[in-house]
């Protein structure tokens, strides 16, 4: 049974928090007349914005916070407005300066080498510009150490195995790695149509559920502890939109259901359902299932779904279990899949112009 929702105003996007101050630069060691060259050179690494990208999504997929990426890109005045083809700086690779020594009156090449714990041959190798080791000039700079190349980048984060329990931690994963992870869920739990849709570049919806009972010790108005993902591939690459969501009824709305003739229910685990876009005065924009998907019912009315409780697709099926918006303080579900207003708006935007969807629901408890 679905719940009436009054559409709310569009969410206010909070301004990004200022980035933490950078640590002070290390000072060179003052040994004899040793100095460091004035300023290190920076080599920028860039990312080209693709269709469907968001500023915060680009930051997360490259292990940056939104403020850090904003600091690297002061040319972006509005973080909510970036254009396809626009280049964003992701990092500045600092090349360490070479320690040098400035020749003073009375210096000899051998004496400079000895005072810096080098052999004459080592100092000569560091300074191939000195053709005659017996002829050096006051004010001339000699290299004391070869430039140290920057350390290699850390190995890329790998997606967790599907054998792990719970909603997977995808922080630190690139968009491609997250897509690969979720594609494995589709491959294992999705039906043939869902796999065909994903391979054809259509948008597919994946839902990862963690069991949350409706017992008295649980939040009365529910909790958003599941994840809904919209994913697709096109000529620009992989796209993944992750959203905190709810896939089960909360206690507030399960009590009246369990006091009626039809006990409260939820969409049954590990099935693929075909949904289509719809709109009504009662729900606003929402997704509605085709046909009558299987729904598991709390037949013993103990406010929890147990493995021995059956699933139905007749009168007790899930034909009225929509995907719709709710509130930040109430999941508003008597069996529907819900998100708060702001996340639902993001979800709806990620669906694009497509009208029909394969929805793969997986229990990861």
How far is the C-alpha of 137 from the C-alpha of 198, rounded, in Å? 70
The chain-wide mean pLDDT, for the chain, equals 86
pLDDT in tens, 300-346: 999 999 999 999 998 999 999 999 999 999 999 999 999 999 999 99
Residue 21 has pLDDT above 50, yes or no: no
pLDDT given for residue 7 in this prediction: 42
How far is the C-alpha of 291 from the C-alpha of 338, rounded, in Å? 20
pLDDT in tens, 213-249: 999 999 999 999 999 999 999 999 999 999 999 999 9
Of 8-17, 108-117, 344-353, the one with minimum mean pLDDT is 8-17
Domain 34-95 and domain 99-143 have a common topology: yes
pLDDT given for residue 94 in this prediction: 62
Residues whose CB falls within 8 Å of the CB of residue 161, separated by 6 or more in sequence, listed in order? none
Q: Provide the percentage of residues in the chain whose pLDDT is more than 90.
A: 70
Residue 159 has pLDDT above 60, yes or no: yes
Top-level class of domain 34-95: alpha beta
Top-level class of domain 99-143: alpha beta
| pTM, 2 dp | 0.60
Residue 54 CB-half CA count within 13 A: 14
Strand partners, 39: none
Give the start-to-end residue ranges of the domains of the chain.
Answer: 34-95, 99-143, 175-363
């Amino acid at each position: 049974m679905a719940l009436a929702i009054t559409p709310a105003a569009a969410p206010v996007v909070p301004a990004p928090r200022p980035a933490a101050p950078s640590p002070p630069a290390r000072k060179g060691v003052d040994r004899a007349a040793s100095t460091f060259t004035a300023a290190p050179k920076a080599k920028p690494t860039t990312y080209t914005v693709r269709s469907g990208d968001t500023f915060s999504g680009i930051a997360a997929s490259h292990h940056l916070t939104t403020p850090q990426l904003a600091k690297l890109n002061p040319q972006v005045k509005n973080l909510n407005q970036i254009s396809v083809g626009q280049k964003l700086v992701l990092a500045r690779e600092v090349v360490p300066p070479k320690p040098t020594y400035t020749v003073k009156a009375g210096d000899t090449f051998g004496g400079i080498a000895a005072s810096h714990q080098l052999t004459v041959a080592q100092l000569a190798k560091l300074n191939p510009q000195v053709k005659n080791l017996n002829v050096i000039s006051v004010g001339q700079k000699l290299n004391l150490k070869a430039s140290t190349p920057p350390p290699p980048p850390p190995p890329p984060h790998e997606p967790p195995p599907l054998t792990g329990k719970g909603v997977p931690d995808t922080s630190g994963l690139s968009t491609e790695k997250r897509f690969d992870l979720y594609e494995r869920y589709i491959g294992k739990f999705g039906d043939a149509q869902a796999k065909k849709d994903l391979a054809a570049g259509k948008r597919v919806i994946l839902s990862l559920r963690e069991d949350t009972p409706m017992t008295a010790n649980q939040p009365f108005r529910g909790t958003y502890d599941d994840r809904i993902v919209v994913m697709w591939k096109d000529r620009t690459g992989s796209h993944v939109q992750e959203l905190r969501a709810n896939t089960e009824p909360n206690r507030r709305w399960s009590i009246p259901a369990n006091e009626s003739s039809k006990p409260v229910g939820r969409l049954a685990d590990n099935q693929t359902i075909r949904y289509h876009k719809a709109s009504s005065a009662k729900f606003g924009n929402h997704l509605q299932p085709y046909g009558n998907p299987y729904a598991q019912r709390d037949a013993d009315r103990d406010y929890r779904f147990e493995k021995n409780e059956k699933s139905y697709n007749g009168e007790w099926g899930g034909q009225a279990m929509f995907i719709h918006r709710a509130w930040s303080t109430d999941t508003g579900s008597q069996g529907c899949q819900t998100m708060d207003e702001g996340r639902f708006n993001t979800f709806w935007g990620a669906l694009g112009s497509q009208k029909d969807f394969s929805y793969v629901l997986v229990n990861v408890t």
